[in-house]
Amino acid sequence: MSASVRAAFGAITCALLLVMLVWGFLGMPTFGTYPGPYGDVLNTVAPHERHLPNIISAVNFDYRGVDTLGEEFILFVAVAGITMVLRYDRERATGDPLPQRHGRAPSQRSEAVRFFSVVGVGVMIAFCTYLGIHPHLTPGGGFQGAAMLAGFTALVFVGLGFDAFHRIAEQSRQELAEAVGAGAYAVIGLATLVASGFFLANVLPLGGEGELFSAGTIPVINAFVGLEVVAGFVLMFLEFARETRREEAKPAP
């Protein structure tokens, strides 16, 4: 197939896609239209059935908890795929950085960069932990808090260097944590199936509405989701950081 034919085929395909998108947007309801009734029903029953003010977390980890389990394993498989591709594409990495590009002077970290990176790590851990452990009380949750929390490794890499980052984000520990976080969700579902006859049924004491230790199994599931997410993102950051290192020379035959 010649370049002109490919270009024509691509243009026709993009035009058809544009038509379909415009057609779909024109058929959407006006802004603010709420078809219901599921949101209204959940806003009415969830605070009494699950003893929590944040209805979104009740939906994510209880009413449609099976869907969230599937989403968690989508992330798990995505991380595994990314790390496998990068590791296959790269020889064993050393601790030596890649050489500077021609015309660029070697960069050195200033004391200010080190200081603010360390301070930023502390602030990020405190805030993201708070965000992650209160999904049943306030907006947030294990996925959101953990995805942000994993960014502390980037600060460590920028402020303290690859060696410090590599020690903190040790590969085998992160892989174990990710596997435990993902597997625990399914194990909780099986345990509740045995205990109540329903997969991911809320079988723990609900506690009082608005209390930290309340909402039954929801905070427990959320905690393991957070563990899987933070470990998965840290593993990806680790692989990206290794891309900045020299490759180990192959032994002579």
Summarised one tens digit per residue, pLDDT across range 35-66 is 778 888 998 998 888 888 889 999 999 898 89
Q: Is there a domain that residue 24 lies in?
A: no
Report the alpha-carbon distance of residue 237 to residue 152 in Å, rounded: 10
Categorize the per-residue pLDDT at 23 as very low, low, confident or very high, splitting at 50, 70 and 90. very high
Whether residue 237 lies inside any domain: the answer is yes
DSSP readout, 125-158?
Answer: HHHHHHHHH-TTTSS--HHHHHHHHTTHHHHHHH
Q: State the pLDDT confidence band at 136, using cuts at 50, 70 and 90.
A: confident
Give whole-number Cα distances, 132 to 22, 183, 251, in Å. 38, 19, 47
Dist. CA 58–CA 252, nearest whole Å: 59
In a domain, 45, yes or no: no
CB atoms within 10 A of CB 113: 14
Report the pLDDT averaged over residues 187-211. Answer: 89
Asked if residue 60 is part of any domain, the answer here is no
Residue range of the domain that includes 134 = 66-98+112-248
How many domains, in total, are found in the chain? 1
In a domain, 80, yes or no: yes
For residue 17, tell me if it sits in a domain: no
- Tell me, yes or no, if the pTM score tops 0.85: no
Does the pLDDT of residue 250 top 90, yes or no? no
Paired tokens of 253? 């035959």
The rounded Cα 53 to chain-centroid distance in angstroms is 24
Average pLDDT, the chain: 86
Whether 30 maps to a domain, the answer reads no
When pLDDT is averaged across residues 111-139 and rounded to a whole number, the result is: 89
Would you state the pLDDT for residue 191?
A: 93
Residue 223 covered by a domain: yes
